[in-house]
Structure 1
Amino acid sequence: MVSGDHNAPKCSGLAQAEKAQSLSDLLFASPPDWLDKPMLRFRQPDGRWKQWSRIRVQHAVLRVAAWLESKGVKAGDRVGILGHNCPEWFVADFAILRLGAVTVPAYFTDPPEAVQYVFNDADVSAIFVEEGAQLEKLEGVDKPLLPFHGESNSISAVALDENWDNHLQASSPNRKQLATLIYTSGTTGFPKGVMLTHDNLLADVSAALGGVAVFPEDLFLSFLPTSHAFERTVGHFLPTACGSEIAYAEAVTTLLRDMPDVKPTIMISVPRLYEKIYTGVQTKLAEGPAIKRKLFNLAQKLGMERFELKQQGEDLSGGKALLWSLLDKLVNAKLREKMGGNIRGFISGGAALHPDIARFLLAADIMVLPGYGLTETSPVLSVNRYGAIKPETVGPALPRVEFRVAEDGELLVKGPMVMQGYWKKPEATAEVLDVGGWLHTGDIVEIDDDGYVKIVDRKKEIMVLSNGENVPPAVIEQHLTQSPAILQAMVVADNRPDVVALVVPDVDGVRRLWQKTMNETLPENWRQNERVHHWMLIQMRNEEHDLSSFMQVKRFAFLDGEWTQDAGLLTPTLKLKRRKIAELHADLIAGLYPKEK
């Protein structure tokens, strides 16, 4: 059994989280010198950024809480939120929590039927909703709808209306009360409402701050949906506890514009962002002159050597130090400037980050801290620490987190951040939460002698070939998508003689790589061309070289369109919905296996 380290770095927010009696205390029970500090930042329609101070946010929350109370919302009632990250989302959440009601967020990326399922299952009393496309998803819903914006009956209007000040009758909630239902995105079946108390979330904020120090001077750039447990705890509650500022990206598509504008010090993201950064760099290198590739490779090699030395408290010296200084300015500085130039740490979660991508960032002196957690654990359980990073792992357990590995390799976890259960689903709760309080994560792991956890795969997704060999699909897919020619890939192997794959190609990447390796123009009918298929298998083999032969893809099929959330083929954290994808392409998969004689 492995327990979290209690001697991790401390910061001001840790005391806030530990003494808080409810999540609303993170906002209201704060030092006086934080009151005039900027707290929330957002881009206005004219393109300029606007800031709200902490005291302004406090007043806005109290007014909206009183407004909710006047509409009959009371402690224990469930209240929905549907919309993009913005100050109104923040205010709505803390107003609900201050009343002792229960926040039920839905993903703004979900289709109407999924959103309505969440709110119906939770039996919400009212729903805060962003106007436009999000409001349209609630057509036919017979619940009071409270808009984000508007002239009178909206969050934005009430937040500015001084008549709503100090009218609250409700007493502050306590740590044992239910704070939120977060519905698991799930790769199969209907989502389940994870019941988290104020204590669960406060314990996880404290645990996270016991692993990664955050300070009032830090600036977070928020773009992962706040409805996601990872962003809610680490990008929403945690900076509130620390007196840090939160800036809201206008959209995922505006990140490249927002990062240089905001100059964040900390960002929370799933691996997809880092994968896109890596792919973008590789694409530019492939298109550029050979000298740029040589300089990049040298900078990466020297940067990795420097990173490993700094992990031991040392640094490059002499000629290597001078060379690094030059290469860093020529190669890495521009990349860091595109991220704002002030990044102190990227915190990666939601899925395993490929070690090669972590090393790429670390070698460029961009600090990335791979971590791990589940919605059912509020969610963060482990994270790599500054100065003690193992890129192939998701770090050691956080303080007060206990890990145990079952005989089959499944990770079991125990701690105050573990959920109360699934909403109205006692059987499902009993399947994952045993009487001793150990939560069965469903993840197959390895833990090294230092307590660092390496995720192998999902227990339910481990595929077994007809010869009995176990195949971890996510590992293979991570390898495949390192190729600039492959945008997405899904492995099929369960109860089959060998591994095949569905491949969504990066069309421009295919053309460039074909031209580079074959020195000729890509054939017009390349998706059906046997030479191109043989060539692509070679590219796959290049990426799979360190995998066992039985794990390597033997045949594949190109697909025409990208898998998206809108099509219902990806979860909000961009995981593949394997069953739906397999059903959609059942005939294509069948064609990849030779007919039995």
Structure 2
Amino acid sequence: MDLAQECAAEAAGLTVPGLVRRNAEAYPERPALTAGEETLSWAELRTRVAEIARGLGALGLSPRERLLIMMTSRFEHWIADLAAAHVRAISCTAYHTLSPDQITYVATHSGASVVVLEGADEVARWRPALAASTTIRHVVVVDDDVDLPDDERFVRWADLAARGARLHGKDPAVLEKLTDEVVPGEPVAMMYTSGTTGDPKAVVLSHYNVLYEAVALDRLAPMDLHAPTIAYLPLAHVAERELAIYRALYKASHVFICADPSQVVSTLATVRPPSFFGVPRVWEKIAGVLKSVPDGADGLVKQLGLDGLSWPGSGSAPLPGPVRDFLAGLGVDVLEVWGMSETTGCATANVPGAAKPGTVGRPLPGIEIRIAEDGEILVRGPLVFLGYLQPDGSVREDTDEDGWLATGDIGAVDEDGFLTITDRKKELIITSSGKNVAPTKIEGMLRAHPLVGYAVAVGDQRPYLTALITLDEETAPGWAAARGITGTLTYLAGHPAVRAELDALLEEANGQLARAEQIKRYAILPEPWTAESGELTPTLKLRRRIIHDRYSADIASLYG
């Protein structure tokens, strides 16, 4: 039996409720979740999941109905998600940064019947969606201190749990029956894509998808049972769902919830997990911290626990080469992976003992990669999602007749089987002279500088490339202070020393680029880009369409 067959055989017998039961029975006193000073054991977690599952069942939540969650990272988020799996509903976490209009789109498109909201802020932002939805029957509110609207659909979390506890106490066998009825091939969760180029799509994953990923990752980069792990990304992000829910279930891990992402570096130092996944922005921040103490960087690496990482991973976007090389020089070899929500997270991975810098690794066991004639990467295998949810509740497959999924990414496979990502198919710039240019490569070179927060290359159907640049809120003031300059980002954006430094950066970058890739002019914008202001997705990817529309005058001036 080869590795792919081993993974398939292992995953074929697993479901999310089944693993919750296994862990509660085999490791009842072992810690499952920690938030602040409070910890839930696996036995305690299953009891709380049972209460909410029975409560949701009493509300009428049925198999394949959708349950939407909007709350920060806290115990109740995991409990609601796992409870939905026990009644065979499809859970979906909505990004906490969504605007009321975006919330309304997700609520109406999903056809959700139950919504779980954290507190007063979420209730207020969901009012337009609740007015527009014709399918939402119940709204569960977690925080006790919220004044609920005069709407019979609203239910308090505490009341739901109490009702479920009574039902579970009377007949605990119901939970076992629910657990046994779950089938690996049926849906377990749904994620809305970030929507970088249009309306988000609802990606539906099965128990088999998410647990095959957990099994395959563990075969390539083994992790001890009960090992600690940190959850800091939104649970709307496929990587966090996979690592902090599904892989954690498979390995009975101890998940430390870091509700404030700005505290992730200090949490790393406290928890010292054996593996850690960071989106490129997180690794850039860590590199910035280490660069700030040039004489003591090696000591700080040990202090932060980075020297103990057996698998420091990065994905979701390309990791700038200078950042990767700087960290590698300190002994932190960040290993890039590649995938998308539609491939249940990573489909290829660099792992210890099988890595090549600059690539995103080889395919996971059982995964096939093919490059189409136009360079697009095609994927086939057990990690390919069930399909996209349609407004009528059906799920539409998005593979061709042979099972290949077109990913939208452009790339190449080398002679050793390692995949390199060139760019997004839809993001390729085609200049007026017909040259194809990959913008992320150029943008990564600019973002490696401590002054630069984000950069976007512009030039589609234009004679040459230009760039919009924002300054980094955290590191730019430090760079300026070291040179005797103080002031706001707006002030720094107009300072001649900043302009001179970026001129030098562009000259250096252009020296490494082909003529068609070189940036001829650029603009420094006075305000940072954030998910809240709309230029970035919740996973900190560029929303290019919005940026091009919002800064059309600035772009036009670069070609004036």
> Which of 62, 67, 74 is the matching residue for 1:86?
74
**Alignment map for 1:125-274 (pairs within 5 Å):** 125-140=113-128, 141=130, 143=136, 144-150=138-144, 153-154=156-157, 158=161, 162-165=165-168, 166=172, 167-168=174-175, 170=178, 172-274=181-283
Distance 1:22 1:531, change over 3 A: closer
Counterpart in 2 of 1:46?
A: none
Identity of counterpart residues, as a percentage? Answer: 28
- Determine the structure 2 residue equivalent to 1:310: none
Give the residue type in structure 2 aligned to 1:485: L
Cross-structure match for 2:524: 558
Change (3 A) 1:53 1:510: closer
Q: Return closer, same or farther for 1:156/1:456 CA change in 2, 3 Å cut-off.
A: farther
Which residue in 2 is equivalent to 1:464? 430
Number of the residue aligned with 2:552: 586
Q: CA deviation at 1:389?
A: 2.2
Letter in 2 for 1:18: A
1:61 Cα deviation after fit: 1.1
Of residues 145-154 and 477-486 in structure 1, the stretch that sits farther from structure 2 once superposed is 145-154
How far does the alpha carbon of each residue in 1:475-495 deviate from its partner, in whole angstroms, 9 at most, with x for none? 100001112222211110111
Would you say 1:95 and 2:98 are equivalent positions? no
Instruction: Kindly indicate whether residue 74 of structure 2 is the aligned counterpart of residue 121 of structure 1.
Output: no
Aligned residues: 535
Q: Can you list the C-alpha shifts for 1:249-292, whole angstroms capped at 9, x where unaligned?
A: 0211222333333333322221110011112333444xxxxxx3
Shift of 1:512: 7.0
Moved more, 381-390 or 438-447: 381-390
**2:465 is aligned with 1:504:** no
Does structure 1 retain, via aligned residues, the 8 Å contact 2:56–2:160? no
Query: Aligned runs of 1:321-470 on 2, under 5 Å?
Result: 331-339=297-305, 342-424=308-390, 433-470=399-436
Cα distance in structure 2, aligned partners of 1:419 and 1:486: 36
Of 30, 34, 51, the residue aligned with 1:41 is 34
**Aligned partners of 1:481 and 1:277: how far apart in 2?**
14
Q: Residue type matched to 1:135 in 2?
A: V
Deviation per CA, 1:421-448: give whole Å up to 9, x if none.
211179x998952111100011111211
Name whichever of 82-91 and 491-500 sits farther off: 82-91
Quickly say closer, same or farther: Cα 1:380–1:156, change in 2 above 3 A.
farther
The more displaced of 348-357 and 226-235 is 348-357
Q: What displacement does 1:32 show?
A: 4.4
The 8 Å contact of residues 470 and 526 in structure 2, kept in 1 or not, is answered as: yes
Which ranges of structure 1 fall in alignment gaps of 5 or more residues?
44-48, 286-291, 293-329
| Deviation for aligned residue 1:57 | 0.8
TM superposition shift of 1:507: 7.5
- Number of the residue aligned with 1:56: 44
Change (3 A) 1:561 1:532: closer
- 1:550 positional shift: 2.2
Counterpart in 1 of 2:149?
none
Offset, 1:215: 1.8
Instruction: Please say if residues 307 and 332 of structure 2, whose CA atoms lie closer than 8 Å, have aligned partners that are also in contact.
Output: no
Kept after mapping to 1: 8 A contact 2:531/2:540: yes
Q: Contact between 1:446 and 1:453, CA under 8 Å: does it hold in 2?
A: yes
Aligned-partner SS, 2:256? strand
What is the CA–CA distance in structure 1 between the aligned matches of 2:484 and 2:64, rounded to whole Å?
A: 67
Larger RCO, structures 1/2 (Cα 8 Å, 6+ apart): 1
TM-score normalized by structure 1? 0.82
How large is the RMSD of aligned CA atoms in angstroms?
3.1
Letter in 1 for 2:61: V
- Amino acid paired to 2:56: L
Specify whether residues 429 and 578 from structure 1 end up closer, same or farther in structure 2 by C-alpha distance, changes over 3 A only: farther
CA distance, structure 1, for counterparts of residue 341 and residue 538 of structure 2:
13
Query: Any conservation in 1 of the 2:452–2:470 contact (CA below 8 Å)?
Result: yes
Helix, strand or coil at the partner of 1:110: coil
What CA distance in whole angstroms lies between the structure 1 residues aligned with 2:354 and 2:77?
Answer: 35
Q: Deviations over 1:344-386 (max 9, x none)?
A: 3322121122233223223323343211111111122011111
